Structure 1
Amino acid sequence: MVTIAVTAEGPDEPRFAVSPETVKKLAALGAKVRVQSGAGLRSRFSDEALAAAGAEIASSAAAALAGADILLKVRRPAADELGQLKQGALAAAILDPYDRAGIEPLAATGVNLFSMEFMPRISRAQSMDVLSSQANLAGYKAVVDAASLFGQALPMMMTAAGTVPAAKVFVMGVGVAGLQAIATARRLGGVVTATDVRPATKEQVQSLGAKFVAVEDEEFKQAQTAAGYAKPMSAEYQAKQAELVANHLKTQDIVITTALIPGRPAPRLITSAMVANMKPGAVIIDLAAERGGNCEATVPGQTVEVGGVKIVGAVNLAASVPVNASSLYAKNLYAFLELFFDKKDKTFNINWDDEIVKGTLVARDGKIVHPSLAPQSA
């Protein structure tokens, strides 16, 4: 029987890698799930609930890890955790794989490492897409937090005493987080505009009842990779787009920035000069803060005020709704592990040629093997 270990995350990470629902499903596949006592409490998954679903509750992290075949985590595990697993074991987590200095010691343990951020954007992997499940919640929470900080109402209100104008909300970057931010802001009654360099997003923005704002030239029409990500744009295009955005920002009340390019620092979308021209009382929520921020004035993990404009360096925003975030993340992991189980005889076997396995495998047999990391290898 395959043993799956799940241990507590660090103090800054309230999310958890399994839920009572996925414990039950993993047990049905033929796995034994061993959970460190108390590790799920910050996501409101008690030991009792996990045990009732079929988990074995271990008294310590070491007891949960000892000889396990699989380690499931939210954040990157420590090398000493991996060292307690069975030889040839696998670990799946949000590994932050482009941090090569952090990954190399983990690879050296010989554990097969799977980075959930590298999940291929293909139809059969949609249920495993961690970035989408967590970004969806981050986009929602960004608008809720912004509304709280704004200090004014979002919807237009017509009263006997006068009319309250609707707040203007601008979403920069229309991926999963951006689309959810648009939808949430619209539900709250804001007048919503959005921008992105990918032409395919225009129709998505308009379908949610928002207005699309972008320089739509020939370069714009080619600004998307085959995988659906934004391409880096030329300096000429960036200058034209920056001018358009600068003028638009002057009238906005709430701005949500979500633009990220995998493996690169976050693109700079809002300069300090643009912030200086915004209305006092405006709020910027920067969802790219962990990668340096889309706004020049962003300080990761802090809220700063510049000329009356509040700028929130949002870090790990999905984790601020840990019950939902953990439930979705646990389902992502379950869908991924389900690939490896034969449901008839309940055996565990990895097909190393599967495109999902190839796409997410970062390290195997002590070596970093992922193609996107290969150019940096010695």
Structure 2
Amino acid sequence: MAATSEATLFVGREHGAGERRVAATPDSVRRQVGRGINVLIEHGAGQAAGYDDQAYAEAGAKLVDAAAIGEAPLVARVAPPSLEDVRALSPDTVLLTLLAPHRNLEVVTALSERGISTLAMDLVPRISRAQSIDALSSQANISGYRAVIEAAYGLDKYFPLFMTAAGTIRPARVVVLGAGVAGLQAVATAKRLGAVVHVSDIREAAREEVASLGGTFIEVPDVEDATGEGGYAKEVGENFLERQRAVLTEFLSQAHAAITTAQIPGRPAPELITQQMVEAMQPGSVVIDLAAADGGNCALTQAGTVVEHNGVRIIPGNDFPSKMAGEASALYARNIASFCELLVDDEDHLHLDLEDEIVAGSLVTHGGTVTAPRIAEMLGGKDA
């Protein structure tokens, strides 16, 4: 993509149900303006996250109406765009967003047909150079923390050990499934609250990380390391899952809370907790499922709805970052700012370098085609 005359970024209001985050904060605007990027902020864009228009203006942004989106060659948002949002974009716009392309194939097709260059913040390669752009990690950190707070709130039990004149109250037992960013934050938070924490993960590297936070690693007999590309867990066979479920059922039967975080980018979440495993849990216990948006790690999970089964509540956690919109926006806005800086050359012109590893790894649509191989395959192999 050739350099344009100037780098102008538009950040608008989010219209998705329950979405309170925003893709820019006054701090990130100040940073971007200092880098030579013109920033247009739609009136009221940050209100739900606690950032008012005056703060944006004082940081150097120009406050505009929604129609100004057509004036900016660079657009940043949080949630995947709707088909109506796509139609509002000018052809050749560069869009940065959390896209979840495997769940939004119709939107991907529309972006491609519109000629949009789409950079998915959730496909940023997990390499050292991209750490400041890694939005999945920044938002997962919040999810892991919030999951424990929600679990503690949902239980009629103390998390820590209490020794009183009336007797001893034993600490809550928490099982965390998946020791990625969200899982490790959940371990750390649960330990800070005084819970006994057991952790399951199919990646050998997770063992030491869990131990360093005070958690106890759950052993599955005859397991092979299942570390996949980019440090994510790879898919495993049904035989392994059966053995894992047998071990987990024993731990879940003694747990007061289970927090599930296992996800595989671009694929449905693996089912780790069956209905029978839920039925083995104690009445009054809770399951917090952070993989709800991708189908859930629990067979009974319903995104957006709390399900109660045999006295156990299954709580979806797909909206936890939005429930902490101020902090989540601050982190996400820094991710966006770092990516924007990568897209601006030394003369403050917008330039999309398709040879750059981060750009290439995040690019889903460009030049009227779907450039992400797996997404193109899901669409029938028409592009890429």
TM-score range for the pair, normalised by the shorter chain length: over 0.9
Which residue among 16, 20, 23 is the counterpart of 2:29? 23
Moved more, 75-84 or 230-239: 75-84
Output the CA distance in 2 between the equivalents of 1:192 and 1:27. Answer: 45
Change (3 A) 1:279 1:79: closer
1:43 has 2:49 as partner: yes
Change (3 A) 1:202 1:112: same
User: Over aligned residues, Cα RMSD in angstroms?
Assistant: 1.4
Residues 4 and 70 in structure 1, CA contact (< 8 A), matched pair in contact too: yes
Output the CA distance in 1 between the equivalents of 2:78 and 2:208. Answer: 34
Residues 128 and 332 in structure 1, CA contact (< 8 A), matched pair in contact too: yes
Change (3 A) 1:259 1:48: same
Between the two proteins, the alignment pairs up a number of residues equal to: 373
1:236 has 2:244 as partner: no
**Residue identity opposite 2:249 in structure 1:** A
Output the CA distance in 2 between the equivalents of 1:28 and 1:192. Answer: 45
Output the CA distance in 1 between the equivalents of 2:345 and 2:57. Answer: 24
Counterpart residue number, 1:204: 209
Counterpart residue number, 2:374: 372
Output the CA distance in 1 between the equivalents of 2:111 and 2:89. Answer: 12
Which residue among 139, 143, 162 is the counterpart of 1:138? 143
Output the CA distance in 1 between the equivalents of 2:259 and 2:88. Answer: 42
| CA displacement at 1:349 relative to structure 2 | 2.0
Which residue among 274, 279, 282 is the counterpart of 1:279? 282
| CA displacement at 1:227 relative to structure 2 | 1.6
Counterpart residue number, 2:186: 181
Counterpart residue number, 1:328: 331
Output the CA distance in 1 between the equivalents of 2:255 and 2:225. Answer: 28
| CA displacement at 1:54 relative to structure 2 | 0.5
Indicate the structure whose relative CO is greater, using CA pairs within 8 Å and at least 6 residues apart: 2
Counterpart residue number, 1:121: 126
**Residue identity opposite 1:65 in structure 2:** I
**Residue identity opposite 2:63 in structure 1:** I
| SS of match in other structure, 1:342 | coil
Moved more, 226-235 or 326-335: 226-235
Change (3 A) 1:228 1:7: same
Moved more, 251-260 or 70-79: 70-79
Residues 190 and 197 in structure 2, CA contact (< 8 A), matched pair in contact too: yes
Residues 290 and 317 in structure 2, CA contact (< 8 A), matched pair in contact too: yes
| CA displacement at 1:83 relative to structure 2 | 4.5
| CA displacement at 1:198 relative to structure 2 | 0.9
Residues 268 and 295 in structure 1, CA contact (< 8 A), matched pair in contact too: yes
Residues 255 and 285 in structure 1, CA contact (< 8 A), matched pair in contact too: yes
Q: Taking structure 1 as the reference length, what is the TM-score of the superposition?
A: 0.95
1:94 has 2:98 as partner: yes
Residues 266 and 293 in structure 1, CA contact (< 8 A), matched pair in contact too: yes
Counterpart residue number, 1:350: 352
Counterpart residue number, 2:70: 66
Residues 257 and 285 in structure 2, CA contact (< 8 A), matched pair in contact too: yes
1:362 has 2:368 as partner: no
| CA displacement at 1:86 relative to structure 2 | 4.7
1:257 has 2:260 as partner: yes
Counterpart residue number, 1:13: 19
| CA displacement at 1:319 relative to structure 2 | 0.9
Counterpart residue number, 2:61: 55
Structure 2, unpaired ranges of 5+: 1-5
Change (3 A) 1:240 1:26: same
Q: Taking structure 2 as the reference length, what is the TM-score of the superposition?
A: 0.94
| SS of match in other structure, 1:133 | helix
Query: In percent, how many aligned pairs have the same letter?
Result: 41
| CA displacement at 1:366 relative to structure 2 | 1.2
Counterpart residue number, 2:79: 75
Output the CA distance in 2 between the equivalents of 1:281 and 1:82. Answer: 45
Change (3 A) 1:87 1:231: closer
| SS of match in other structure, 1:192 | strand
**Residue identity opposite 1:199 in structure 2:** E
Counterpart residue number, 1:161: 166
**Residue identity opposite 1:57 in structure 2:** L
Residues 70 and 85 in structure 1, CA contact (< 8 A), matched pair in contact too: no
| CA displacement at 1:331 relative to structure 2 | 0.3
Output the CA distance in 2 between the equivalents of 1:151 and 1:310. Answer: 12
| SS of match in other structure, 1:347 | coil
**Residue identity opposite 1:180 in structure 2:** Q
CA displacement 1:217-262 (0-9 Å, x = unmatched): 2xx3331113211122122211111111111111001110011111
**Residue identity opposite 1:221 in structure 2:** E
